[in-house]
Amino acid sequence: GVFTHLEMLEARAHEAAVKQEETEQQEEKLARLKARVQELRLQRDELRAKVDLQQKGQLGKEGVVSDPAQPSARTVLEWKIKSVKAMLQVFYLTGISGKLTKRGVCFCISTAYEGTYLDSYHLDLLTKAEVQIHRHSVPIFIPLEQIAKKYLQTDIRRFLSVLSDHLNAYAGRRYQADQLQGRFSNRIEGTLQRNSLCNLLVFNYNVSSKSKTFPFNARLLYGDLCCSLPTEVTVSCTPDAPASLAEMAAAHSDLFRRVALHKAFCSFSSAEESVD
């Protein structure tokens, strides 16, 4: 009837109104986004020009340049603050850095393997009365207490140095094992077994000789915790393997004692490439 018809018309009008509103909102949104893009493009172009000018100004001017416009006192201070912060960051690269606290010092021991910096460890020391370790992030398998007992009260520098030796050696051992697993996974049979201190490694690896591959087993024990080279190495091949392989195993054993693990494997790869 009439009512149903009216209702239908009303519904349609409502639908149309909603659609109209949606379209308008969409158009508004598009317009806003477009304006924002223009704004950002302008900002970006201005910055680019600024940076280019800066680069040109520095080409051929080796050495220091003072700001031509008279710098404000605030600018000078902010520059100095950044400069001192940068210097403090450089200390991180030296292996021992830190900052003074209300009750003592918070030291940071950084570790590295050759040019690659690895994890760093913190020690919050209280120095008011006797020296105490308030908090630290040294892993539990590092003999921190032992080292502290020996040196902390008498020579903090020595304490940090010895601790740093332990931590750097640990980091170095772990790095070598990680590199082996990561870069030479195709040569490793099964999993590389290691303990948390990374001073005992056991793994099986493949050696090719005359287009045949042979399994070797290696056991590396790092008896000196401040060293990242093993003190005891056992490399064995299967009992039925040819004599030349036994010689190779002995050579590998010697190599692992002298050269970092991942570097030793690098030399295997290049040696094999040149023979086969």
| Contact pick of 1, 4, 66, 274 for another protein (by CB under 8 A) | 66
Q: Does 14 bind another protein (CB under 8 A)?
A: no
Comparison of 26 and 153: residue with beta carbon closer to another protein: 26
Tell me if 122 contacts another protein by CB under 8 A.
no
Query: Which range in 24-32, 144-152, 197-205, 268-276 contacts another protein by CB under 8 A?
Result: 24-32
Least separation, in Å, of the C-beta of 68 and another protein?
A: 11
Query: Can you tell me the distance from the alpha carbon of 272 to that of 211, in angstroms, rounded to the nearest whole number?
Result: 10
| Residue 149 interacting with another protein (CB under 8 A) | no
What residue type is assigned to position 136 of the chain? Answer: H
Is residue 50 close enough to count as binding another protein by CB under 8 A? yes
Distance CA 11, CA 211 (A): 82
**3-class state of residue 87 by DSSP:** helix
Tell me which of 7, 20, 21, 79 binds another protein, using CB under 8 A. 79
Using CB under 8 A, pick the residue from 12, 14, 19, 34 that binds another protein. Answer: 34
Neighbours of 207 (CB within 10 A): 19
| Interstrand relation of 116-126 and 132-136 (parallel, antiparallel or unpaired) | antiparallel
**Residue 154 touches another protein, criterion: CB under 8 A:** no
Q: CA 237, CA 253: separation in Å to the nearest integer?
A: 11
DSSP state of 191: E
Give the β-pairing of 200-209 and 212-221: antiparallel
For another protein, the closer CB: 8 or 30 = 30
3-state secondary structure of 97: strand
Encoded one letter per residue, x for contact with another protein by CB under 8 A and - for no contact, window 159-198 reads --x--x---x------------------------------
Among 6, 9, 16, 76, binds another protein (CB under 8 A): 76
The residue type found at 148 is A
Can you read off the two tokens belonging to residue 100?
Answer: 């003074």
